[in-house]
């Protein structure tokens, strides 16, 4: 006879459709990772999401949320001096947001406290910023099995309570060729997540931040979004998140721009055009296709075209590009 506590017949499993807090970036009942270098605005973006959920406002794709509760667990921001002023500046509802009042470690005892809080408060979104601060010291980077167990328990908590969870982490200093491996901690973190988001500076405009979809196991890859940190209308000295639309920059573009393997997207696009147009004019559409095969986006190529003064000419309804000025 089988062990029904560990295994179950698939016929007894109810098929379910994935539900979303922000489709297709943040699923409900599963782990989402938000990662990026320090100082780029991960915490600002996390608080922005908390504010949007607490007030039932619109996401960047114009989808309107119902008002919800948020459990905001931060090790890096003081609730009085940082979290509350920022949430107020962003127009959030602090009565729907609960924060840490004491220290907690994600050992068995701490996870039991967290589970009880989730069941009592009923959050629609949980934010942990950053995860590594709450991992028991003896398990950090040394005990993959303990990390897997912790993540498995977090997954069960959010699945049982139908809420979304966003786990924040920094990137490693050692640059990786594959963007999936750039995040800090063990590989189990990204492996357990069903969705992962990469935050980076726009390589052509560092004042702008790009949020790109790094991992998408349960749906299509979502578009990249651009936002800036601007002075609040409520509190002018506190920056708030302002989204300005979509970007065609990909995770690979951002990985290269951050100094990973290979040239930066800007340099790669400039070099491509010099090589591709070096022997004479080429069809514009062919140029885009060739650049795409080298991992260069249309937006990046268009900016390189402008920087290099590439000339566009139309012949019999077809556009051609050339580097010459004749």
What is the rounded CA–CA span in Å between residue 181 and residue 183? 6
Domain boundary among 223, 239, 257: 257
Q: Could you tell me if 25 and 109 lie in one domain?
A: yes
- Top mean pLDDT of 169-173, 199-203, 262-266, 313-317 is at 199-203
For residue 109, give the CATH number of its domain.
3.40.50.300
Query: Total structural domains in the chain?
Result: 2
What is the rounded CA–CA span in Å between residue 95 and residue 55? 10
Taking 70 as the threshold, does the pLDDT of residue 173 lie above it?
no
**pLDDT at position 254, please?**
85
Number of residues that this document lists for the chain: 326
Give the rounded distance of the alpha carbon of 44 from its chain centre.
13
What is the rounded CA–CA span in Å between residue 286 and residue 301? 12
pLDDT tens digits, one per residue of 13-56: 999 999 999 999 999 999 999 999 888 999 999 999 999 999 99
What is the rounded CA–CA span in Å between residue 114 and residue 193? 19
What is the rounded CA–CA span in Å between residue 238 and residue 88? 10
Q: Could you tell me if 244 and 195 lie in one domain?
A: yes
Whether residue 20 is contained in a domain is answered as: yes
**pLDDT at position 326, please?**
43
Whether residue 8 is contained in a domain is answered as: no
CB atoms within 10 A of CB 269: 25
- Top mean pLDDT of 206-210, 239-243, 272-276, 277-281 is at 239-243
Q: Could you tell me if 222 and 306 lie in one domain?
A: no
What is the rounded CA–CA span in Å between residue 59 and residue 57? 7
Whether residue 313 is contained in a domain is answered as: yes
Domain boundary among 257, 276, 309: 257
The whole domain housing 40 covers: 14-257
Give the rounded distance of the alpha carbon of 69 from its chain centre.
21
- Give yes or no for a contact between 185 and 169, defined as CB atoms under 8 angstroms apart: yes
**pLDDT at position 257, please?**
59
Q: Could you tell me if 55 and 173 lie in one domain?
A: yes
Taking 80 as the threshold, does the pLDDT of residue 196 lie above it?
yes
**pLDDT at position 80, please?**
95
Q: Could you tell me if 273 and 252 lie in one domain?
A: no
CB contact set of 205 (below 8 Å; sequence gap of 6+):
none
Whether residue 152 is contained in a domain is answered as: yes
CB contact set of 15 (below 8 Å; sequence gap of 6+):
none
**pLDDT at position 72, please?**
98
pLDDT tens digits, one per residue of 119-160: 999 999 999 999 989 988 777 666 778 888 999 999 999 999
**pLDDT at position 262, please?**
53
Radius of gyration of the chain (CA): 23
* 3-state helix/strand/coil string of the chain: CCCCCCCCCHHHCCCCCCCEEECCCEECCCEEEEEECCCCCHHHHHHHHHHHHHHCCECCCCCECCCCCEEEEECCCCHHHHHHHHHHHCCCCHHHEEECCCCCCCCHHHHHHHHHHHHHHCCCEEEEECHHHHCCHHHCCCCHHHHHHHHHHHHHHHHHCCCEEEEEEEECCCCCCCHHHCECCCHHHHHHCCEEEEEEEECCEEEEEEEEEEEECCCCCCCEEEEEEEECCCCCCCEEEEEEEEECCCHHHHHHHCCCCCCCHHHHHHHHHHHHCCCCCEEHHHHHHHHHHCCCCHHHHHHHHHHHCCEEEEECCEEEEECCCC
Taking 80 as the threshold, does the pLDDT of residue 285 lie above it?
yes
Taking 90 as the threshold, does the pLDDT of residue 208 lie above it?
yes
Using alpha carbons, select from 53, 218, 32, 212 the residue that is nearest to residue 131: 32
Give yes or no for a cis peptide into 130 (omega within 30° of 0). yes
- Give yes or no for a contact between 37 and 170, defined as CB atoms under 8 angstroms apart: yes
Taking 60 as the threshold, does the pLDDT of residue 1 lie above it?
no
For residue 312, give the CATH number of its domain.
1.10.10
Whether residue 4 is contained in a domain is answered as: no
Query: What mean pLDDT do residues 105-131 have?
Result: 96
Phi, psi of 231 (to 5 degrees): -60, 140
pLDDT tens digits, one per residue of 67-93: 999 999 999 889 999 999 999 999 999
Domain boundary among 257, 277, 304: 257
10 Å CB burial of residue 200 (0-12, 13-18, 19+) is buried
Mean per-residue pLDDT of the chain: 89
Q: Could you tell me if 130 and 218 lie in one domain?
A: yes
């Amino acid at each position: 006879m089988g062990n029904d506590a560990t295994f179950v017949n698939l016929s007894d499993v109810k098929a379910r459709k994935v539900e979303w807090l922000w489709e297709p970036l943040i699923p409900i009942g599963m782990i989402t990772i938000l990662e990026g270098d320090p100082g780029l605005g991960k915490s600002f973006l996390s608080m922005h999401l908390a504010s949007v959920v607490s007030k039932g406002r619109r996401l960047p794709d114009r989808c309107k949320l119902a008002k919800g509760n948020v459990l905001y667990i931060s090790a890096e921001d003081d609730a009085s001096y940082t979290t509350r002023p920022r949430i107020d500046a962003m127009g959030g509802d602090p009565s729907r947001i609960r924060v840490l009042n004491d220290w907690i470690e994600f050992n068995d005892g701490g996870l039991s406290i967290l589970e009880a809080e989730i069941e009592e408060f009923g959050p629609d979104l949980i934010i942990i910023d950053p995860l590594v601060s709450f991992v028991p010291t003896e398990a950090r980077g040394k005990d993959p099995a303990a990390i897997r167990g912790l993540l498995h328990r977090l997954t069960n908590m959010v699945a049982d309570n139908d809420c979304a969870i966003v786990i924040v982490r920094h990137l490693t200093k050692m640059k990786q060729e594959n963007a999936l491996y750039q995040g800090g901690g063990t590989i189990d973190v990204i492996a357990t997540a069903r969705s992962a988001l990469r935050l980076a500076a726009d390589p052509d405009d560092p004042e702008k931040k790009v949020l790109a979809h790094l991992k998408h196991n349960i749906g299509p890859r979502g578009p990249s979004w651009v936002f800036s940190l601007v002075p609040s209308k409520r509190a002018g000295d506190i920056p708030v998140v302002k989204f300005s639309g979509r970007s065609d920059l990909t995770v690979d573009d951002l990985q290269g721009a951050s100094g990973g393997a290979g040239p930066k997207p800007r340099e790669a696009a400039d070099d491509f055009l010099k090589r591709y147009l070096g022997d004479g004019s080429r069809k514009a559409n062919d140029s885009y296709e060739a650049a795409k095969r080298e991992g260069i986006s249309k937006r990046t190529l268009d900016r390189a075209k402008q920087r290099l003064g590439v000339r566009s000419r139309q012949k019999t309804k077809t556009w051609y590009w050339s580097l010459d000025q004749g």
